[in-house]
Each structure stands twice: as C-alpha cells, then as structure tokens.
Amino acid sequence: MTGKGKGQGTQARTGSFEHALVLETARVTEGAALAASRWVGMGDKNAVDGAGTEAMRELLNSLDIRGRVVIGEGEMDEAPMLYIGEELGQGQYEVDIAVDPVEGTSVTAKGLPNGLAVIALSERGGLMHAPDCYMDKLVVPPPAAGRVNLDWPVEANLSVLAQSLERDVEDLLVTILDRERHADLIRRVRQAGARVKLIGDGDVVASLAVGVRGTGVHALMGSGGAPEGVLSAAAMKCLGAEIQGRFIAEDDAMRERFVSMGVDEHKIYKTDELAPGSQIVFSATGITYGELLSGVRRFGGGARTHTLVMGYASRVVRFIDTVHLEDDGARVTIRV
C-alpha cells in the first residue's frame, strides 16, 4: 500500500474536518447552554458566564481537534479559561476557534430573551484575530449581499436593501443596539421610513436573525463588539448573507494595538476578510427564549435544547431540537 506524504495527510485531515465536527460542535454549544441555563434569572451574570465557559472548555477538549482560541473570553491575563491563544484538544484536526460561551450574560442573568452559546471553527488562519474593541457594522440578508456599502449614507443602504428584497423602505425592520451613541443612527433610520428594533445586548443573534429568512428582521446597523463581528461573519458566510465592519480605535493605545495586529482602522472589512476560511463550522444554542432559537426548556430529570449548526464547505444548515435525559431513570413524553 502506498503511503501518503506529510502534506497529503494534513490536507486530507483538514479537508474532512467539517463533516467530522459539525454535529460535535453542536454538542459543545448544547453543553454550554445547558450549564448556563441553571443560572437563568438568578441575577448573577458572572455565574452565568462561568458555567457556560467551563462546560464549553471541557467539551472542546473532548473533540478530535488541536484547537487554538483566536476569539475568546479575553487575553491570557484577563480570563481563566478560553483565553486568546489557549490550546485545546489532543486530536488530529488543526482548527482556529472563536467562542462566546454566553452571548448576553446580562440578559441571561435577568431571564430576558436571546441569550445563547456560540462557537465557530475554521482551518488555521480561517478566522480573523480581531482586537477587543468596537466595530461599526452593517449586516444584510443574502439578496442584498454585495449591493450595500458601509460608507454610504444610511438612507442609501436602506433604499438598496428595500430594492433587493422587493419591498418599500417602510416595510423594513432594522435592529440596532439600544445605546446613546446610536441616537443619530436611530433617528435617520426612522426618518427614512424604516422601523427600528432596539435590543439591549447580543448582536450575534441579531445578525443571525438577518441572515435567516422569516424572522421579520432585515438589517443590523451600528457599532458593537469586534469579536462578535468575527463570529457573525462566520455565520453570515455559511448563510450567504453579508457583514461589513470597520474597527474603531477609541484611543492611541488601541491604534498601536491595531498596528501590531495589522488592522487598518479606515478599511471596511467584509465577510470573507473577517472569516476567510474555506471550511467553517458555526453553532449556536439558545439559552433563553428568542425569535430564532428557543431557550433551554427544563423538565424533571432533563432538558430540551434548540440549536442552529452550519458548515460552509459542506453546505449544510441544521436546526436541531434535542431532548437531554440528564438523570438516571429520567423519562419524558416526546412532543413537538
């Protein structure tokens, strides 16, 4: 039997990682969501985040990967686990990892909608290592991909979006984080005739709602976290939607960090630059109830989860409804 060279073996392993890991990645976000759900409504966002992070780290270490965290809970000296640069797993597939074990720690701690566990995997170099800063963002659904521009006036982008979706501007609903810095943006969107959906937290799930048809949301605008922008880009690439982002330097120290990381604060980064990987797996599991994903629903001895998991190269999008029987002897009557 003819043996494979080193390069061939690496290529074969990389080429198959999506098929091997897509369902295992869903298991990771399910585990993080289940752990964090124990703290829903308890008012302790640190406990929520800690539970989700610990569960996600344990499950990632069980996968057949040699993973490196590029988007995580912070730098090594800021986070006890899932920090940027942390190595996870002892398996064969070399991957970069972007995580947000609990997106929306505050809303989850308060029992409010749209808390979720999120992860993206790619081949090495397939996810941008973004600085922990703000990013000005524009997210649009597949029909408008490639037709809008973050540099254009809000009104122009809304007009193009409406044309792409074959509707009037007045039919559009735009999600914006409810922050004082967005007061002028909110005013302009409303003056143009579009409606505004204000959210308190969680712009990854807001981006997902734009990329999936039927949610009633048509765009995301405004600034939010740059790491969340990379996670959103991984999802938008799988869905055929688009994110455009520009990194915001708030002071000279951040500008120096941009230079050290090769980030251009004047450039518009598009989906394929934020998530350049040829293979990407993205998974999100609801922790609290949301328009796109149901939250964890507990019953005696177990729980039910709702997950969206996608593979870019494998061209698969799955919504997974899972019943977890956690206690010995637990029984449940399955229903829709």
Task: Return binding residues for substrate.
Answer: 103-105, 134, 179-181, 201-203, 225
- DSSP string over 95-164: EEEEEEEEE-HHHHHTT-S--EEEEEEEETT-S----SSEEEEEEE-GGGTTT--TTS-HHHHHHHHHHH
CB neighbours of 285 closer than 8 A, spacing ≥ 6? Answer: 26, 29, 30, 32, 33, 116, 117, 293, 296, 305, 306, 307, 308
CB neighbours of 187 closer than 8 A, spacing ≥ 6? Answer: none
Annotated binding site: 49, 73, 100, 103-105, 134, 179-181, 201-203, 225, 228
> How many Å apart are CA 33 and CA 76, to the nearest integer?
24
CA torsion, ordered 153, 173, 33, 49, to nearest 10 deg: 50
Q: Are 228 and 100 in contact (CB under 8 A)?
A: yes
Annotated binding site for Mn(2+): 49, 73, 100, 103, 228
CB neighbours of 29 closer than 8 A, spacing ≥ 6? Answer: 56, 116, 117, 118, 119, 283, 284, 285, 307, 309
Q: Are 307 and 30 in contact (CB under 8 A)?
A: yes
| Pairing of β 269-270 and β 242-248 | antiparallel
Strand residue runs (E) in the chain: 65-71, 87-88, 93-103, 116-123, 134-140, 173-177, 195-199, 219-225, 242-248, 269-270, 280-286, 297-299, 302-311, 316-325
SS3 category, 316: strand
